[in-house]
Structure 1
Amino acid sequence: MKIFFVSDIHGSIYYAKKAIEKFQEENADYIVILGDELYHGARNPLPIEYNPKEVAELLNEFSDKIIAVRGNCDSEVDEMVIKFPMMATYSMVLYEGKRLFLTHGHIYNENNLPKLRDGDVFIYGHTHIPKAEKNENIFIINPGSITFPKEDNPNSYGILEENVFKIKDLNGNIFKEINLE
């Protein structure tokens, strides 16, 4: 199974389309959205081609393949136009004998980890900073932001396949990678 990860679209139809293009190019089975799907947030500028309605319509076309969690910029009204559940603080997926704990990062984060077992994987967004590391036998991963990358990082997404998590820029170049074994 191949899983595509994206975070912090923030209502940009331009970057939502890029994410879907990459999902299709990667031939992934599922899309995990780590929050902040539609709204740009009060701290962010308007993104390129800001159009939350179009983003919702595009994502809805893939609703049977999406696992999503709520970000700090998401609200109940967003779920009225989205055809997949996206208001949970976290979700968990079992993958190759490991628990993937999926969250946005504004509640659970590196300073407030949920109870995880050795070898489990904590995957979040929110900071817009890509990360792939192991800390005390827990894997900590952030695919970065597709729309608003920070700290001179590129717009990015993640791919999990065969126990390897790769963080890629929009040209498909891998710039962070971690083996989950």
Structure 2
Amino acid sequence: TYVVAEGLKIVTTHGHYVETDEAKDKMARALKADIFISGHVHINVLEKRGNTVFLNPGSPSLSKREDKRATVAILEDKTIKIVDIDTDEVIMALTL
């Protein structure tokens, strides 16, 4: 899926067709994505590579983190936060 929200070009994919960082980078460049969101592996990622922020919010129910924390991502005021849903603790944050 490709959407533009609040001026940000956002690509979303489950992740099982675009699995490698190289494939994600290529797709993000081709689509000029500001944010590239994927899932599939249920492990958090929040990093900027080139002009794109790559995000995997983890999982609220089937976490594959070592500590099994249930997580979601929140985009608010140009900041992305990955949050533990049980404690409201911000685990990772990145400002665009």
| Structure 2 Cα separation of the partners of residues 152 and 116 of structure 1 | 33
**Aligned letter for 2:14?**
H
Report Cα offsets for 1:126-155 as digits up to 9, x if no partner: 111111110112110010011121231411
Query: Per the alignment, in what secondary structure is the counterpart of residue 111 of structure 1?
Result: helix
Q: Which residue of 2 aligns with 1:127?
A: 41
Of 65, 80, 88, the residue aligned with 1:165 is 80
1:144 aligned onto 2:58? yes
TM-score under structure 1 normalisation?
0.46
Instruction: For residue 101 of structure 1, report the CA deviation from its aligned partner.
Output: 0.2
| Structure 2 Cα separation of the partners of residues 149 and 128 of structure 1 | 6
Aligned length: 89
Instruction: For residue 108 of structure 1, report the CA deviation from its aligned partner.
Output: 2.1
Query: As a proportion of its length, which structure holds more helix?
Result: 1
Matches within 5 A, 1:40-51: none
Instruction: For residue 98 of structure 1, report the CA deviation from its aligned partner.
Output: 1.7
Instruction: For residue 96 of structure 1, report the CA deviation from its aligned partner.
Output: 2.6
Q: Which residue of 1 aligns with 2:16?
A: 106
| Structure 2 Cα separation of the partners of residues 95 and 134 of structure 1 | 19
Query: Per the alignment, in what secondary structure is the counterpart of residue 134 of structure 1?
Result: strand
TM-score under structure 2 normalisation?
0.82
Using the aligned pairs only, state the percent identity: 34
Q: 5+ residue gaps in structure 2?
A: none
Report Cα offsets for 1:73-105 as digits up to 9, x if no partner: xxxxxxxxxxxxxxxxxx122123221101111
- C-alpha contact (below 8 Å) 1:96/1:163 kept by paired residues: no
Could you list the runs of 4 or more consecutive aligned residues of structure 1 that deviate by over 4 angstroms after TM superposition?
none
Q: 5+ residue gaps in structure 1?
A: 1-90
Larger Rg computed on CA atoms: 1
Q: Which residue of 2 aligns with 1:92?
A: 2
Instruction: For residue 162 of structure 1, report the CA deviation from its aligned partner.
Output: 1.1
